[in-house]
Structure 1
Amino acid sequence: MQRLFSALAIGIASILISNVAIAEGESGSEQLRQFVRNSKTVEGDFVQQQLRAPKANEPQDKGLKVVRQTQGQFVFQRPGRFVWDTQKPYEQKLITNGTQLILWDKDLNQATFRPAGQALASTPAAILFGESSLDQHFELIDGEERLGMKWVALVPKKDPNAKNQNDLPYTKISIGMTNGLPKALELIDGLGSVVLVTLDNIKLNVNLPANRFNFIPPKGAEVVRLN
């Protein structure tokens, strides 16, 4: 569960660091570029759903079925800092201050610390939390308009010098843009599992306290440190 939560949250987090008001007429890819380029801090609410196709004995006309749903709040600061705070149906936080990645599980009363660079290396976060351009690492492909959003597919560009071309945990990453803001993310892994994240109440370039990305485990909590 921790690995799944971490991978999803990091993948999602990596895409969100960025925006400003943008004309509705601009393409989804251009809206995304400007969002990444112009936003320094972002906060808002999220609902994350894990979806699957209906089984043979289930109605086939109802679309994808929700297997699991969580919701909470997120905060990001470029480069490389974020809090992904799941509040329902359980309390769990994923935090990075740029050097450490921390997973706090309230039910387990456990905090797991690991180097941020190692944990983020196999996700889009390694690119998008830095100062690099999206176009340097991804091909942005404009897709259809659906659910009131302009969808953009992010396709990783191949690096001939990279040792492993298959580090990303997702085979497909799509972002739904509306009025210059990412309002939804669709992540599909190699097994066909779908994660849909919808975002709301997004605030840009907010002032954040210096300790917003620090975390001190409660007294008596189990602390696990991974190298």
Structure 2
Amino acid sequence: MEFPMPRLLIALCLFVFSAGAHADAVATLEHFFQSTTTLSGRFTQKVYETNGPEISHSSGTFELARPGRFRWSYVTPHRQVLVSNGHKLWIYDKGLAQVTVRAVGKTLGRAPIMLLGGGAPLSDAYTLSDDGTRNALAWVKLVPKDTRNSQFQSILLGLHAGKVVRMVMFDQFGHRTVIDFSAVKRNQTLPASDFRFVPPKGVDVVNML
């Protein structure tokens, strides 16, 4: 099963913090990630052709424990779970009755889900800039510094009323992925077991470590 990297986000992304003035949005965003240990909540994810129609719509829940651990669970329209303990990534597709196991570094690299759940400062991998105000949201733009190995041309984080409420990703294939976050909880204790995965009995396990 090929891992749908542009459909991740995983991400995982989200959040409750004071945006401050627009001139301070970038510094506030970096401080927020540096001071966040866990995040959890719900998401809706829509994928569009760039400047075109919607081509997919999904929703589910997420949990992040920085650095490197996450559980990203698609509930609709198909059940799929992505779990990482920081070293291994399990991708469970319930409909296919298949689990794929991969190494996190080889699979995710500098993908947006690692932006959300990683431990390094955002400026290590991205050039950050204030992207103005649109649709009642203040935006911060992230452009990968390593453009050759990134699947995304740019990422936008939208802030409203002291929260990051939207993430927009533009990939190299002409797609735009929009993720909206809700019911977000920050820095609460999450069970360690949420970041381990035991394949259900009877499923195929494809080991790609």
TM-score under structure 2 length normalisation: 0.89
CA offsets per residue over residues 106-164 of structure 1, 9 Å max, x none? 00011110111211225255566443222233211111212221111102235xxxxxx
Kindly indicate whether the alpha-carbon contact (under 8 Å) linking 1:20 and 1:34 is maintained by their aligned counterparts in 2. no
Structure 1 residues 118, 87: closer, same or farther in 2, change over 3 A? Answer: same
2:152 match: secondary structure: coil
Which residue of 185, 195, 199 corresponds with 1:213?
A: 195
Q: Which amino acid aligns with 1:66?
A: E
Deviates more, 1:174-183 or 1:147-156: 174-183
Cα-Cα RMSD: 2.3
Q: Which amino acid aligns with 1:182?
A: V
Sequence identity percentage: 31
2:148 match: secondary structure: coil
Indicate yes or no: 2:129 matched with 1:166: no
Q: Which amino acid aligns with 2:184?
A: I
Which residue of 12, 18, 22 corresponds with 1:22?
A: 18
Which residue of the partner structure matches residue 45 of structure 1? 42
Indicate yes or no: 2:119 matched with 1:121: no
Which residue of the partner structure matches residue 224 of structure 1? 206
In 1, Cα distance between the equivalents of 2:161 and 2:70?
A: 23
1:171 match: secondary structure: strand
Counterparts of 1:23-172 in structure 2, within 5 Å, are: 24-25=20-21, 27-52=24-49, 64-125=52-113, 129-157=117-145, 165-172=147-154
Kindly indicate whether the alpha-carbon contact (under 8 Å) linking 1:91 and 1:106 is maintained by their aligned counterparts in 2. yes
Shift of residue 2, structure 1, vs aligned partner: 4.3
Alignment length (residue pairs): 208
Q: Which has the higher relative contact order, 1 or 2, with Cα contacts under 8 A spaced 6 or more apart?
A: 2
Shift of residue 33, structure 1, vs aligned partner: 1.3
Structure 1 residues 122, 138: closer, same or farther in 2, change over 3 A? Answer: closer
Q: Which has the larger radius of gyration?
A: 1
Kindly indicate whether the alpha-carbon contact (under 8 Å) linking 2:16 and 2:164 is maintained by their aligned counterparts in 1. no
In 1, Cα distance between the equivalents of 2:81 and 2:105?
A: 18
